[in-house]
Amino acid sequence: MDKLSEIISILDKSDKIAFLKELKAKNKRHDAKNIDLFKMLETDDIKGIKKIYPNAKNRDAYHALRKRLSENLVEFLSNRIFEKNAEEMHESLRYLVVSRYFIQHQFFQLAHRFLKKAEKQALKLEQYSLLHEIYQTQLENDGFVKTEDFEEIQQKIQQNIQQIAFESQLKLAYHFVRIQINEMHLNKKIIDFEALIIESLEKFNLDLRQIMSYRSLSQILFIANEFAHIQQDFTRVEPFFKKALKFLESKQENKDLHLEEHLQIFYFLANYTFRTHQFESSLRYLTEMENSWKTKKQNLSSKFIGKWMLLTSLNNLFTGKAEKSIEQIDQLLKTQTKMAFEEIQDLKMTKILCMAFLRLPNLRKELHQLNHSDAFFEKKLGMLWTIRKKLLEILVYEQEEEIELALSRIKSFQRRYKNYLLEVKEARVLTFLKFIEEILLNPDKLTLKSFQNKIEHFIQSETQHDPFVQCFYVYLESKIRKETAYSLLLTTPIKKS
């Protein structure tokens, strides 16, 4: 898909209607082709595009038309976005501009009134850079600042400079950690993540106990979430999430002004509570997310719908509603076209996981939906995701009694990932596969008490209680129990670290 088509694809229905109306008003000729081109690009109608300029000699005219349409669309979007955000985000800037106009003409009383309005609005929206401009405007005008006000302004400026410095340092630390995480995921780089967090805090002179805004909290929770995700132990970041809850409770009056950051924080909280088996709490946060984007004017559903559906589906799986998860995923994949590649793959794998636990047919057909090479998935989605996908694939073949295929996949898995898993101290994955391989080669082993004891000891030695890890353990345990893997998943007591 080219850039122009991509831009058109992110427009919602109201934007498209408004843009076509604007084009129609601009067109001075009745035979202008820009509206036709827009509609054809919207529907990906390649044959229709050829009808606009069927003659090859008109290629230059076609590209000129595309360029004009692209320029009109970008101009429309810039105005449209400004209109949508002008009411709140730009109000403080307008007040500042007006106050400077009055200062220029020495109407200091009026200027003071508008500067106070600008300051109040900027504080509410945590616009620290704009606050700096407001305070500088006060200082730069001798006729404006009274002697008795100087100490108060000085204190405000110093506090605001600290806020700006903290936000800047946190952004640097945030991106520093993200770069290291990408290195680890994509290049199989081995990283001591706890050491990385300590290094980033010291490098940028930060204390994560300082939580000053929605934006900084969202970035802090990203770091905590990634650390816990790599460690597969979310109990280690519990203090950060408790701070997040306190912050949200204390900032209820301003949450609508920071909706995107607020939704991101809700997502992190929903993920944390899911990964610590607090499924009802996780679903409550997800409901809060959905209600927030539905009741506000900002169109943020397309940005969060993939993540929201993934967590909703996983919570449903662990609370006995796997069938509902499958239905919801199918519906979303049919109707939602703006999700990121990784979100689509996550949903497809979650659907396969649900189907496997329900022992539904056509699992191999679903596996074929994840039809890229291991190297491709490692590069795009990271090692952890690819390893889980390969393990699930082996269990699907084992479940469908495709013994030779399952054994072949185990051998190729060991060749590709054995050294990596040993390096990252995840030998348990290899032990798990060894048990599966033995069962495939000799199913009668399951009747031996000594073999059953080995499996039980392996399961009981697990100290982490991540839900994804639990899925594989209960699958193995179901081999020596007279219960299905899904009934065990729903009834197995949660291990505490």
Give the tens place of pLDDT for each residue, 390-417.
999 999 999 988 999 999 999 999 999 9
According to the model, what pLDDT value does residue 58 have?
Answer: 67
User: Distance between CA atoms of 90 and 73, rounded to whole angstroms?
Assistant: 22
Ranges of the chain whose pLDDT falls below 70: 1-2, 31, 45-58, 78, 81-89, 142-148, 182, 184-194, 208-213, 230-231, 251-257, 295-301, 337, 463-464, 493-497
Say whether 181 sits in a helix, a strand or coil: helix
Tell me the whole-structure pTM to 2 decimals: 0.70
Angle between helices 383-399 and 374-381 (to 10 degrees): 140
Amino acid at 109: Q
Residue 70, judged by CB atoms within 10 A of its CB (0-12, 13-18, 19+), counts as middle
Query: In the structure encoding, which two tokens stand for residue 201, read together?
Result: 């805090």
User: Distance between CA atoms of 445 and 452, rounded to whole angstroms?
Assistant: 8
* CB < 8 Å & 24+ apart, contacts of 452-456: 452/480, 455/479, 455/480, 456/480
Cβ contact 95:118 at 8 Å: yes
Say whether 209 sits in a helix, a strand or coil: coil
Cβ contact 80:15 at 8 Å: yes
Query: In the structure encoding, which two tokens stand for residue 470, read together?
Result: 């639990």
According to the model, what pLDDT value does residue 497 have?
Answer: 45
